Structure 1
């Protein structure tokens, strides 16, 4: 997991920290995030159900949103950035997860903390063939602060009642069959619409 020095860290400090991580990898040393990944340190921890705090974020057009806009949907809220190596590593799996679960009313809400906004995220998606995730922006870190995120990537599973059920600090293979089954279990089935009394059973 790429570490954050609190949300008060300067952008330069973050860039230097990431640069040091990449430099270490180039010098033949494993970066800390890759060591954790190789050791299987990222684990899904069931944390709920517990209510989510209120927070806002933006869509690609700059329109503000809250979690209330996704009522009755299951959510995987992924806090990420293009400069974060483990975030980049898991993005294709999150994209495949969105494709697999969209028909079940489950949405991957990937909130980018990149300062470059829409253009930066769209360019990243285009370059890596990400075609199922929407562009969602958290450039000032409001969602990360409200959710108590300690580093990127962090992913929070939210059930259809808007309750946090689990979280992961670090990257995972989200589209692995066992993980998809866990997501479905924690989020729960979609509500069945009431039967039309005028239609025969």
Structure 2
């Protein structure tokens, strides 16, 4: 009986310390408009393990972001919908970016660094990273078949949701989804 009581206490403590499932349910409920295209997985999925690189070719891996929620966006300089949504992703990073959340952008396929910089300069984005996946290794491993693709990674580095195509990431609904995942109230 004592062991059962301890097991229940431990389980309750874990649930309170990690309210992930409750946050995900609230995030799903907050979807409206473009966010209806955001599909949450029944169970977290493994994210890619392939390396990608910084603008200056330093190696990176998604493991580098474990411990925070990540909105991972795959894009390309030739992608018109990417051009449309990137300023909205920038706004999301401005509002929520910090120790527990980050918008991570990765240009996949062949994107020349000068073209990437020009892309960001033309649309006025200064707060998002110019990371690259020139051989599309990470994109292929994560099943990115068109652009843009945006996935949400939990702090354990697992994919919990995916949106194919562009979306209004600056919308009230998108912000409500992120707020729910972060366990934040309005504001």
- TM-score tier after normalising by the smaller chain length: 0.7 to 0.9
Aligned length: 151
1:146 aligns with 2:141: yes
Higher relative contact order (CA 8 A, sep 6+): 2
1:183 aligns with 2:178: yes
Tell me which of 46, 50, 59 is aligned to 2:54.
Answer: 59
Shift of 1:63: 0.5
Unaligned runs of 5+ residues in structure 1 are 1-38, 191-201
Shift of 1:112: 0.5
Kept in 2: contact 1:44–1:166 (CA 8 A): yes
Q: Aligned runs of 1:67-106 on 2, under 5 Å?
A: 67-103=62-98, 105-106=100-101
TM-score between both structures, scaled by the size of structure 2: 0.74
**1:3-29 C-alpha deviation (Å, 9 max, x unpaired):** xxxxxxxxxxxxxxxxxxxxxxxxxxx
TM-score between both structures, scaled by the size of structure 1: 0.69
Q: Could you tell me how far apart the structure 1 residues matched to 2:179 and 2:48 are?
A: 23
Structure 2 match to 1:45: 39
Structure 2 match to 1:24: none
Shift of 1:85: 1.1
Relative to structure 1, the CA distance from residue 96 to residue 176 in structure 2 (aligned partners, 3 Å threshold; closer, same or farther) is same
RMSD, aligned CA: 2.1
Structure 2 match to 1:172: 167
1:155 is paired with a residue whose SS is strand
Shift of 1:92: 0.8
Unaligned runs of 5+ residues in structure 2 are 1-32
Q: Could you tell me how far apart the structure 1 residues matched to 2:64 and 2:132 are?
A: 15
Tell me which of 110, 114, 122 is aligned to 1:119.
Answer: 114
Q: Could you tell me how far apart the structure 1 residues matched to 2:45 and 2:113 are?
A: 31
Q: Could you tell me how far apart the structure 2 residues matched to 1:180 and 1:63 are?
A: 31
Kept in 1: contact 2:150–2:164 (CA 8 A): yes
1:77 is paired with a residue whose SS is strand
Between structures 1 and 2, the one with greater helix share: 2
Shift of 1:57: 0.7
Kept in 2: contact 1:55–1:146 (CA 8 A): yes
